[in-house]
Structure 1
Amino acid sequence: MSPHETLAVVPVTDGVMSRSVAHDSAVKHVAGTARYIDDVPEPAGTLHVVPSGAAIAAGRILSIDLAAVRAAPGVVAVLTAADIRGRNDVSPVDFDVDPCFADGRVEFHAQVVFAVVARTRDEGRRAARLARIEYEARAPVVDVDAALEGGTTVMPDYEFRRGDVSRALTHARHRAQGSFLVGGQEHFYLEGQVALATPGEDGDMHVLSSTQHPSEVQHVVARVLGVPDHAVTCEVRRMGGGFGGKESQASQWAAIAAVAAQCTGHPCKLRLDRDDDMAMTGKRHDFRITYDVGFDETGLIHGYDITYAARCGYSADLSLGICDRTMFHADNAYYLGDVHIGTRRMKTNTVSNTAFRGFGGPQGMVGMERTIDAIAWTLGLDPLDVRKRNFYAPGRDYTPYGQRVEDNVLLPLVETLERTSDYRERRLAAEAFNEGSAILKKGIALTPVKFGISFTLMHLNQAGALVHVYSDGSVQLNHGGTEMGQGLYIKVAQVVADEFGIEVGRVRITATTTAKVPNTAPTAASSGADLNAMAAKAAARTIRERMAAVAAGEFAVRPEEVTFRGGRAYGGNRSMTFDELAKKAVLSRVSLSSTGFYRTPKIAWDRANKKGRPFLYFAYGAACSEVTIDTLTGEMKVDRVDILHDVGRSLNPAIDIGQIEGGFVQGMGWLTTEELVFDDKGRLLTHAPSTYKIPTAADVPADFRVALYDNENREDTIGRSKAVGEPPLMLAISVFSAVADAVHALAPGRPVALDAPATPEAILEAVRAARGRS
């Protein structure tokens, strides 16, 4: 038996939707044969593009001498802003400008000034070093605190407000205030930014791009080239990870490759190395979070005021939506009566921060969970009891932005995990351990997640698909979603196979391309399966109904009496194979090709008036994490993690559990080890694996328990499933809270001054503060 014959691991007769089916590229991933853009055989005459960045973070370009670069061995062309025939703008939004090439002004260190086009990548890299550029530098604004002091923003402040917050705070019996920093995060996808642009006839351009948003790459490349969208085709079969870093920021590299191809007439490939990728591309937004909360002796919140100040970088990029989503998730799982949630979108001379798994939601939740911990520390209560006391509940079920929480499973889900994780017994054990240990301290925390699913930019909540059935009964599937390792392709293939009653192996998944499905949304906001599977199901359903009509004629029954299962069509007491029916349909001149389209129902959001229903539903989850810290070194170890997560009726439990595990570990890295460090000149110092520490296999807790919560989605989603891409990342907040809990054991009743990420240095600072040392 070949490895490919083991892909479907469930009986065909039972259907394949909602079953554990192996990832369509699993064997290729393990064998190293999965083809990424850099593995694609290069067309004859392919040239290589090397971008070169500015040596300062803020200032002006006084002069630029590229003569030596042009004369270097192997150099075919050198590109600057002057070589762009369209607009020098790769911004994803229409109210801002992101230059493809810096033109006179430099706004962050490593901003692209020019690009070398050479016969080989090595020749291009060597030539780029020969440039002579004279700058007039000025002092850069690097971090969010400096930006707050200067007061410069990339867009206006925005807030949600309900009730009289000042009065609620003033009259509260207890009050807690605090401020802390939450750091950014490098995407660290395994496959870096890469694009291959091939010129065609009449100004056409074909672009292979490692992107989560092929339609945006198409649009941006067309804008930069000065051609209509129809002249550009963007294609992507798979990415070696994306995590949001390839939603908007893949466009610049595709555009530069396309400009090179347009100018030289040759295919041109651009692949950033790791150092350049980390310096030249955006990260997760870091925030200064400041809160003021009023509450009673039971921990019930009566007034809440929180402000999130984000480091957006030099331009807007996707900061509008990201900071808005921070606000949408600043409540997390809790009802907040009189509340003010504000955001400031600060401009700095650093690379523009961008989408990252959770899209601002994780930062919003961290602020809320720190607030809950502060209440518990003030009152001497178990933080879990304070959490449960403030959960959304009947009569307390409207969010600060006005959406009613109708599908609430917070309490039963959390209480289930509380029981299965032995939380109460382990908290007592941790307290006993801490009493007898002067140096090592244990902490434990159980934190919830409530995450809204849908794009808050309404027009993105749509998807298209294209399905063909061929005369031999094989099926080809294409849709607007992109595959970055998360298993979207296999899930959508399962839906199509289920619709036709055939094995999933009969469905050929083809590369996402703007030539087949136009005007698609990015694969982001955890909506990939929700949108694209629905569109694919609609296309398959149309074809199935046509085939049923053909079968009805053969079986002498009504079309609605024809059923499809086990690779056959049934009607009355007769049946035929799906292959035979496909052949008969073709001979009967029946179309076996159809498009499908889906738009998310029920949602609406009026940003100006701050009202509506931005989310179709909420995904829920909870995690219980136990840690041990060393108060002498600041080292930390995660001892055990228990997770219970709500994915509705899972489309593929094995894939979903993998997403939960991976999302949790990535979130754990953000909050514990992954520290972005810029110097005072705006240079990123942590620009390689030697200085930037993502979690390794040794960081994954040996005792790691993951279970799916039995909860069919009340909304009419695909198979009654729920999105799973982003929500699990926020389960890792339990680790951060557990670290704070361990520090709190040093000085019960006092607040904990712990910033994120909770690196050994940050933990030591918090330990010193807890012990009253400077």
Structure 2
Amino acid sequence: LKNILRNGDRTVHGQLLDHGVGLEEAIKKAVELSGWYEKRRLYASLKGPVRRGIGIAVFYHGNSIGAEGADYSSASVIIQRDGSIIFRTGLTDMGQGAVQGLINILAEVLGVPPHYIKVELADTSATPDAGPTVASRSTAMGGNATLVAAYKLRKRLDQLAASLLGCKSPEEVVIEAPKVYCRDDPSHTITWRELVEQAFWKGVPLQEFGYYRAPPAEWDEETGTGAPYFTYTFGAIVSDVEVDLETGVVRVKEATTVYDIGRVVNKTGAELHAIGGYIQGMGYALMEDLYYDSEGRLLNTNLSTYHIPTALDTPEKFNVYFVEAGYYRAPFGAKGLGEPSIVAIAPSIANAVANALRSREANKLVSKHPLTPDYVYGIIKKTGVKP
């Protein structure tokens, strides 16, 4: 832990990390959940043709487009007369659960259950430009744009509700849809739908647009210094593997992923994304490769020869945990998990294979990927690893 990044440290590029850095907590939690110390002792004494090894890798990864260009996002929110809400975003959900996170952010601000909200996804004729779904930016950028629109609407709703209920001030209004009441008199209520209906009758506009621009990023191409991203996701990955010394086959038996993504705004989506990212990273580490003939033509052109993990290849056990070291410029302190979920998987597996082989020479050779059975068997033979 001596050399890891902490709050108040500077990165290799010279950027001051003046906000939540949960790397130390992530490492400690990954070590705890994986049984690191016990397994290191146990695996060192194992003999026979099948070895076990455990390895760790840590990382940090930027959120947003960063110094590559101006980054911005936008969203629009429309509350309809029946109390339902239309949420429009140009961000695309490819299964990672990012849009559900935006829905949860909107629901939290307005005080309504998420099922009140209907999403209209990317449509150039209707949804505002939110920028691309890249760079692990959907939560931080899209979430902030959603907050801008949501807070504008909430301010109007609080003012109207205070006048209808006789609250001391708009700040005393509590919206827990379907109930709306004053903080000091929860027995006197109106319904969410009644509040919205009154807004229509009184001409209170219930449509809003939110726009957010990322803080400017500073980067010097010549010196390689600056602040390329305004916030970072941190993490620690532990892989527990089995290596067959007679075939070179590597199997991941248990995976532990701990990420600092600030406030988790969609826990189920984040957990599943962490698992999916690990499996994809495992494919990169152990299977996926490109083969060409002497003329430069690709030989493995389909999934019968370009291998990716299947359900039978996945680890028997996953441990997933999140550290919530928030960032003050992100929505409720939330940060992204898009690309970070794959970043440290391959090195953690490589370190675990090196630990299983227990050879100083093997440590140098496992840095090449993928660690296919042929390649690992070659390492075993070259370094003289014996059962």
For normalisation by structure 2, the TM-score amounts to: 0.90
Separation of aligned partners in 1, 2:164 and 2:22: 49
Alignment of 1:71-220 (within 5 A): none
The equivalent position to 2:231 in structure 1, one of 610, 617, 623, is 617
Cα drift, residue 750 of structure 1: 6.2
The equivalent position to 2:94 in structure 1, one of 459, 484, 491, is 484
In the alignment, what sits opposite 1:426?
39
In the alignment, what sits opposite 1:443?
53
Q: Deviations over 1:435-461 (max 9, x none)?
A: x32x33322212222222222245452
The equivalent position to 1:685 in structure 2, one of 293, 299, 303, is 299
In the alignment, what sits opposite 2:146?
536
The equivalent position to 1:675 in structure 2, one of 289, 292, 304, is 289
**Would you say the 8 A contact 2:233–2:340 is kept in 1?**
yes
Paired letter, 1:738:
A
Separation of aligned partners in 1, 2:6 and 2:196: 52
Cα drift, residue 749 of structure 1: 5.7
Q: Deviations over 1:286-328 (max 9, x none)?
A: xxxxxxxxxxxxxxxxxxxxxxxxxxxxxxxxxxxxxxxxxxx
Alignment of 1:653-732 (within 5 A): 653-709=267-323, 711-732=324-345
Cα drift, residue 518 of structure 1: 4.2
The equivalent position to 2:15 in structure 1, one of 403, 412, 428, is 403
Question: 2:126 aligned with 1:516, yes or no?
Answer: yes
Alignment of 1:239-278 (within 5 A): none
Cα drift, residue 766 of structure 1: 1.9
Cα drift, residue 662 of structure 1: 0.7
Cα drift, residue 663 of structure 1: 0.6
Separation of aligned partners in 2, 1:411 and 1:536: 31
In the alignment, what sits opposite 2:173?
562
In the alignment, what sits opposite 1:575?
189
In the alignment, what sits opposite 1:128?
none
Cα drift, residue 628 of structure 1: 1.8
Separation of aligned partners in 1, 2:115 and 2:263: 22
CA RMSD of aligned residues (A): 2.3
Separation of aligned partners in 2, 1:610 and 1:694: 36
Cα drift, residue 722 of structure 1: 2.2
Question: 2:108 aligned with 1:498, yes or no?
Answer: yes
**Rg larger for:** 1
Paired letter, 1:445:
G
CA distance 1:568–1:712, shift in 2 (3 Å): farther
Separation of aligned partners in 1, 2:232 and 2:54: 26
Paired letter, 1:430:
Y
SS of the equivalent of 1:705 reads: strand
**Would you say the 8 A contact 2:288–2:306 is kept in 1?**
yes
Separation of aligned partners in 1, 2:190 and 2:141: 32
**Would you say the 8 A contact 2:354–2:362 is kept in 1?**
no
Cα drift, residue 508 of structure 1: 0.5
Q: Deviations over 1:734-756 (max 9, x none)?
A: 1122123333x2x4466532320
CA distance 1:545–1:391, shift in 2 (3 Å): closer
Paired letter, 1:614:
P
Contiguous gaps of at least 5 residues in structure 1? 1-387
Paired letter, 1:579:
R
Separation of aligned partners in 1, 2:166 and 2:119: 34
Separation of aligned partners in 2, 1:675 and 1:702: 24
Separation of aligned partners in 1, 2:2 and 2:276: 30
Question: 2:78 aligned with 1:468, yes or no?
Answer: yes
Cα drift, residue 419 of structure 1: 3.2
Separation of aligned partners in 2, 1:614 and 1:720: 19
SS of the equivalent of 1:512 reads: coil
Separation of aligned partners in 2, 1:546 and 1:715: 25
The equivalent position to 2:253 in structure 1, one of 613, 625, 639, is 639
Separation of aligned partners in 1, 2:2 and 2:38: 20
Separation of aligned partners in 2, 1:583 and 1:720: 33
CA distance 1:751–1:584, shift in 2 (3 Å): closer
In the alignment, what sits opposite 1:650?
264
Larger RCO (alpha carbons 8 Å, 6+ apart): 2
CA distance 1:607–1:564, shift in 2 (3 Å): farther
- The percentage of aligned residue pairs carrying the same residue is 28
In the alignment, what sits opposite 2:365?
753
Q: Deviations over 1:174-222 (max 9, x none)?
A: xxxxxxxxxxxxxxxxxxxxxxxxxxxxxxxxxxxxxxxxxxxxxxxxx
Cα drift, residue 759 of structure 1: 0.8
In the alignment, what sits opposite 1:347?
none
Q: Deviations over 1:334-393 (max 9, x none)?
A: xxxxxxxxxxxxxxxxxxxxxxxxxxxxxxxxxxxxxxxxxxxxxxxxxxxxxx343236
**Would you say the 8 A contact 2:76–2:128 is kept in 1?**
no
Q: Deviations over 1:476-531 (max 9, x none)?
A: 00012111111122111111122221111110011212223444321111110111
CA distance 1:751–1:731, shift in 2 (3 Å): closer
Cα drift, residue 699 of structure 1: 1.1
**Would you say the 8 A contact 1:753–1:769 is kept in 2?**
no
Contiguous gaps of at least 5 residues in structure 2? none
Separation of aligned partners in 1, 2:89 and 2:7: 40
SS of the equivalent of 2:135 reads: coil
Alignment of 1:296-445 (within 5 A): 388-392=1-5, 397-406=9-18, 407-433=20-46, 436-437=47-48, 439-445=49-55
SS of the equivalent of 2:355 reads: helix
CA distance 1:431–1:497, shift in 2 (3 Å): same
In the alignment, what sits opposite 2:213?
599
CA distance 1:751–1:635, shift in 2 (3 Å): closer
Separation of aligned partners in 1, 2:319 and 2:32: 14
| Length, aligned pairs only | 378
**Would you say the 8 A contact 1:460–1:521 is kept in 2?**
no
**Would you say the 8 A contact 1:466–1:516 is kept in 2?**
no
Cα drift, residue 394 of structure 1: 7.9
SS of the equivalent of 2:364 reads: coil
Separation of aligned partners in 2, 1:700 and 1:731: 17
CA distance 1:461–1:640, shift in 2 (3 Å): same
Separation of aligned partners in 2, 1:721 and 1:758: 35
The equivalent position to 2:65 in structure 1, one of 439, 451, 455, is 455
Separation of aligned partners in 2, 1:467 and 1:630: 56
**Would you say the 8 A contact 2:61–2:232 is kept in 1?**
yes
SS of the equivalent of 1:736 reads: helix
Q: Which is worse superposed, 544-553 or 632-641?
A: 544-553
Cα drift, residue 761 of structure 1: 1.6
Cα drift, residue 469 of structure 1: 0.7
Q: Deviations over 1:712-763 (max 9, x none)?
A: 31433112222112212123121122123333x2x44665323201111221
